[in-house]
Amino acid sequence: MTTPIRLRGIAISASLATACGVLGAAPASAAAVTCTAPSWTAQFFANTAFSGTPALTACDAAISENYGTGSPSGTKLPKDKFGVRWTLARDFGSGGPFTFTASAQDGVRVYLDGALKVDLWKDVTATQNKAVDLAVPSGKHTIRVDFVNWTGAANVGFGYAPRTGSAVDKVAPLTPKGFTAAYDVPGGKASLRWTANSEMDLAGYRIYRRPVGGAWGRVSPSTTPPATTTHTDAPPANGQEFQYQVRAVDRTGLESVGSAVLSVTAVKGSAPTGLTVRGDSTAARLSWQPVPGAARYEVFAAATAAGLYTKLGTPTRPSYVDGTAPSHALRHYRVRAVGADGSVSAYSATVIGDGVDRTPPQAPTGLSSYPQVGRTRVYWKMYGFDVDRANGGHFSVFRSPGKTLDTSALTEVTCAFTEFNGMDPLEGTCEDRDMAPGTHQTYVVAAVDGNGNMSPFSPPHTVRTADTVAPAPVTGLRATAHPDGTLLTWAASPEDDFASYHVMYGVRRADGTVAWDGTCVDGNIDPLAILCPDLPDGQTRVYAVRAMDRWDNELALNDPRTSTVTVTEQDLRPTVTVTGAGHLNGASWTELARGAEAPTVRWSCTVATLCDPIAGYRVSRWNRASGAYEPLHAGLLPATDRIYSDTTSQPGNAYFYTFEAIRTDGTSATLFTWQTVHTNPI
């Protein structure tokens, strides 16, 4: 008679066709079957070499089969020369001593992690049995049982069980994992939970409790440890902190190392009230009503309402800033008060922060601008915006026409160019190319964080935008001839974008046009006057003064609107003609500009035939009153001198000089004239 394979509670790897109540064989393409320990994965083969695709794969609760003289039911295997392989992978916890027991007709082999432990591999006519004692290491291991029937009747059985008793079992259970502790304020009880151990000889668990700093004591039955993975304890409601630990116990009585130590506090006193949470880009800000007699507070947070709460801080005031709050994620908060004696109150009601920033950033500062033709660049600074900007924050630039901010006429600027430098402060730039030229525009900037919260406006900044229109002609232009040049004065330009004045001089041609020769630059401190220095030789000059704006716009010199004035210089030249007498090699002179201390002449003498007979030098200056050149020093300057300064000269005058080298016989070795304009500051 054939004993069918047990099919209760098993999974089969094929869509088993049922014909007359008999299971058909599994096709080769059948899907794999996953069996969960302690169920075995059974594979049936139509040979004794366990080769090829199994005829059937199923999950089996135990190995205890009597096939008689037939084949396993539902497999269509031959009644002889077939094989069955059972495989099981399971966690043995701390491991320890085990007995493996096998029986079979015909052959059976048992492997542990691939190592052969039982070998009854014979074609027999009666059931053979064998028991093996062995030590299984801790952790996960695989057992494999191979059975073959060569001929005749077939049966197989296998079992494994831990050996207990102090004589053989010296291996304690593993430390329980997943230990959690929570305190129920209304009920005054601590709820303890942990993960079940994997040892097969586990008897149960023991719970220990102690006050912080005290000794451990059991709070669960010691005679028969409970096998459940939960425990409820009621510590004294005295505001004291208690610690818990769970330990596993096996049937030999061996106890594991204690689990992680967790604390709960039995409450005392009133819970804080009025807890609120407000989020911004970097933190959640908590506040609550103060509790009379509280020395400090403890702030806790968890990802879920029932989750494990973690202490964040112990502020002494009824407020706290959680800088670790996640963005756009829920975080649950609760607070309790701590007295001066260390007793703690019940927890406050729980509030939920959603990580959504509803706090606007601070306003940008330091607005400035650089207007150019066709564009205006606006600059600003922003402190503490690096996190917001990294999370989608940006800036909005607005302007309104006029010199004051008109919030009812704001236009948001589309920045044609943006740039950001630095971090704290962040320096921002926006280039506006859509503003009206030649107008006053008032700009403001606002910071917008990644959640759309806009800051207050920055302090406004007014800009006079650039244009391409030259300033109006200068008015009130006057010219006065002086001994040291021509003094020009004019009225101030009324242009709001005025930058500077340009003064040019030239000579009028016969056709009425002007040949412009150069620019007057004297560095004076009066912005509405300039002295154009020139030798007072009676020359007639034309002067033009033009206003230039900040964008380099100015009237063209030939524009009829350009302001010009014609003036004839004074003629202060000597009336005596000086005839030169030879040449002194290397002689030179310096004409000094406004502010110089004195006119100066420098010379050198490098030709021996000219220099050796020289007895000294004479510098003379034209005296208009006497009509003659008069020496500026007594006697001759030494023959070794190479420089002379006229320290008697006065600013605001032009001077004409002669320079002579006098031989020892009193004759001139050289004679030449030089002149300079010693200008007078305006």
CA dist list (Å): 593 to 523, 573, 600, 678: 11, 19, 11, 6
What are the tokens at 419? Answer: 């740039």
CA 342 to chain centre: 41
- Dihedral over alpha carbons 221, 224, 228, 233 (to 10 degrees): 0
In sequence order, what E strands does 534-667 have?
A: 540-549, 563-568, 588-590, 600-602, 614-623, 628-631, 637-638, 643-645, 653-663
Q: Which residues pair with 616 in a beta bridge?
A: 638, 662
Sign of CA dihedral 439, 444, 449, 451: negative
Sign of CA dihedral 114, 120, 121, 127: negative
Q: Are strands 614-623 and 653-663 parallel, antiparallel or unpaired?
A: antiparallel
Q: Is the pLDDT of residue 594 over 60?
A: no
Task: Give me the pLDDT at residue 574, please.
Answer: 95
pLDDT of 25 reads 37
Each residue of 607-620: pLDDT tens digit? 777 778 889 999 99
Sign of CA dihedral 597, 598, 599, 603: negative
**Model confidence at 428: pLDDT above 80:** yes
Q: What is the pLDDT of residue 184?
A: 81
What DSSP character marks residue 293? T
Give, for 464, the enclosing helix (H) or strand (E).
strand 461-464
> What pLDDT score does 13 carry?
38
Residue carrying structure tokens 């801790």: 138
Q: Which helix (H) or strand (E) holds 386?
A: helix 386-390
Give, as one character, the DSSP assignment of residue 390. Answer: H
Whether 593 shows a pLDDT value over 80: the answer reads: no
> Is the pTM here over 0.85, yes or no?
no
Q: What is the set of domains in the chain, with CATH numbers?
A: 18-162 (2.60.120.260), 177-265 (2.60.40.10), 276-353 (2.60.40.10), 365-464 (2.60.40.10), 478-568 (2.60.40.10), 588-678 (2.60.40.10)
Q: Tokens in use for 440?
A: 């006053």
Residue-level pLDDT at 5: 41
Lowest average pLDDT, out of 11-25, 271-285, 630-644, goes to 11-25
What is the Cα Rg of the chain in Å? 54
pLDDT one-digit tens code per residue, 376-403: 999 999 998 988 888 889 999 999 999 9
Side-chain-facing half-sphere of 550: CA atoms under 13 Å = 16
Give kind and range of the element (H or E) at residue 132. Answer: strand 128-136
Residue type at 284 in one-letter notation: A
d(CA 244, CA 344): 18
Q: Between the CA atoms of 187, 189, 195 and 197, what dihedral angle is there, to the nearest 10 degrees?
A: -130
Residue bearing the bigger pLDDT, 391 or 56: 56
Return the pLDDT at 118.
Answer: 97
* CA distance linking residue 239 with residue 262, whole number of Å: 16
Reply yes or no on whether the pLDDT at 3 is more than 50: no
Tell how far CA 576 is from the center of its chain.
83
Averaged over 624-634, what is the pLDDT?
A: 95
What secondary structure, in 3-state letters, does 323-334 show? Answer: CCCCCCCCEEEE
The tens digit of pLDDT for each residue in 524-555 reads 678 899 999 888 999 999 999 999 999 999 99
Q: Is 302 helix (H, G, I), strand (E, B) or coil?
A: strand
Closest to 643 in 3D by CA, of 594, 604, 596: 604
User: Which band of pLDDT confidence, cut at 50, 70 and 90, is reported for residue 578?
Assistant: confident
CB 544, CB 562: distance < 8 Å? yes
pLDDT of residue 522 exceeding 80, the answer is no
Selected residue with higher pLDDT from 1 and 651: 651
Compute the 3-state secondary structure of the chain and give helix, strand, coil in percent, each to the nearest 5.
0, 45, 50
CA 591 and chain centroid, separation: 63
Give the SS3 label for residue 340: coil
Helix, coil or strand: residue 63? strand
Smallest CA-to-CA distance from 271 within 165, 185, 348 is with 348
The pLDDT of residue 221 is 66
> DSSP code of 572?
-
Torsion sign over Cα 427, 431, 437, 441: negative
